[in-house]
Structure 1
Amino acid sequence: MRPWLLLAAALLPGAAAAGHDVSLGVTAVTLTNGGVYNVTAPRLGLEAAYAYELGSWRLGGGLRWAPSGRGNLPVEVYARALLSTKLGRWQPAVGPELGVSGLPVIISPVGGFPDDLSRQQAMQLGPAYVAVHAAPLRFAFQRFTVSALEVQWGTALNQPGSTLRLQFGLVHLGVTL
């Protein structure tokens, strides 16, 4: 059989029953635009997520809370659609995420920068973002799931490409209800 047929068969929704998955995790988020707001230290946070599993699709969303650092409201709300496959216990997933973030903050420049620079930087850091989320190390053990080293790469929606959003899901523990 051709390799692309095997891939299509693995990714198409199968006879698996739908399930509800809830998980808790620890995450690290870095936001930068390469300018004055250039924070290289990640913001550690907690994440609570829900996913509705239907065959190969995981549809859901969640809430992230990253209290470290400055910001108006250190919370993110997101929705995502992940395409997943099951190879024994290994169940990697990848797909888009769309969210609203309160994490971006503007650090006032010091030392000879124009007065309106903070306002210009703020225009680049809109609250809505889009990202690609990948969970390559996701494993299922009966009703329980463990995921480590998830990666997410994205940008703000108001000016795509003006900012970089990089997130690492350190560990997520979940249960299927």
Structure 2
Amino acid sequence: MRSWFLLAAALLPSAAAAAGHDVSLGATAVILTNGGIYNVTSPRLGLEAAYSNELGSWRLGGGIRWAPAGQGSFPVEVFARALLSPSLGTWRPAVGPELGLSGLPVVINPRGGLPDDLSRRHAEKLGPAYVALHAAPLRFVFQRFTASALELQWGTSLNQPGSTLRLQLGLVHLGMTL
């Protein structure tokens, strides 16, 4: 029995390295809008920390985003994603769905004689859960390091799909395989 434990202890570090556990940090810009009263046109700049595990051509993982600029009670998002990422030499583009919980949506109080309860009605449409399509067309891997720029994300809230639009631009992400 002891020999099995020694064999597992010897193989686990190499299996973890072969599995492609990646951590990354990056800068991002998020725009949330519904095209109406809640129409935020300026992006919220933020930071993102992510983890992913490579399983064949899939990258499964998640992370956290912090976007302190702008209004809002809790400017944090937590997300999980599954990205299809073919290996094409050093170029490793990725695309797939992302699910998350967001504290970023805020309702701007209307101006110009609109009803007082309009903000409350718009807030009801903005649930904290969202779904998005995430694409990283400019993602590259150099030995143990990854670099990605101009990632794009397009999505909506799950409370009332289509009632809000979520656009995100990943400015730059730098990562490392553990």
Same fold by TM-score greater than 0.5: yes
Calculate the aligned-residue CA RMSD, in Å.
1.0
Query: Paired residue for 2:5?
Result: none
Aligned AA (1:161):
G
Residue of structure 2 in register with 1:76 after alignment = 77
Q: Which amino acid aligns with 1:124?
A: K
Once the two structures are TM-superposed, the CA of residue 55 in structure 1 deviates from its matched residue by 1.1
Gaps of 5+ in 1: 1-15
Q: Deviations over 1:51-101 (max 9, x none)?
A: 011110100000000000010100000000000001110000000000000
Between the aligned partners of 1:123 and 1:137, the Cα distance in structure 2 is 37
Q: Distance in 2 between matches of 1:111 and 1:41?
A: 21
Give 2:38's aligned residue. 37
Give 1:115's aligned residue: 116
Q: What CA deviation, in whole Å up to 9, does each residue of 1:93-123 have, x standing for no partner? A: 0000000000000111111101110011101
Query: What is the CA distance between 1:19 and its match in structure 2?
Result: 1.4
Runs of 4+ deviating beyond 2 Å: none
Structure 2 partner of 1:174:
175
State whether residues 17 and 54 of structure 1, in contact with CA within 8 Å, keep that contact through their aligned partners in structure 2.
no
Which aligned pairs between 1:38-53 and structure 2 lie closer than 5 A? 38-53=39-54
CA deviation map 1:133-152 (0-9, x unaligned): 00000000000000000000
Residue 17 of structure 1 and its aligned partner are, at CA, apart by 3.4
Per mean C-alpha deviation after superposition, the further-off stretch among 106-115 and 74-83 is: 106-115
Q: Normalising to structure 2: TM-score of the pair? A: 0.90
TM-score, normalised relative to structure 1: 0.90
Greater fraction of residues in helix: 2
Q: Does residue 134 in structure 1 map to residue 135 in structure 2?
A: yes
The equivalent of 1:154 in structure 2 is 155
Q: Deviations over 1:24-73 (max 9, x none)?
A: 00000000011111010000000000001111010000000000001010
**Count of aligned pairs between the two proteins:** 162
Higher Rg of the two aligned structures: 2
Q: How does 1:54-73 map to 2 (within 5 A)?
A: 54-73=55-74
Residue number in structure 1 paired with 2:6 = none
| Aligned-partner Cα distance in 2 for 1:110–1:90 | 49
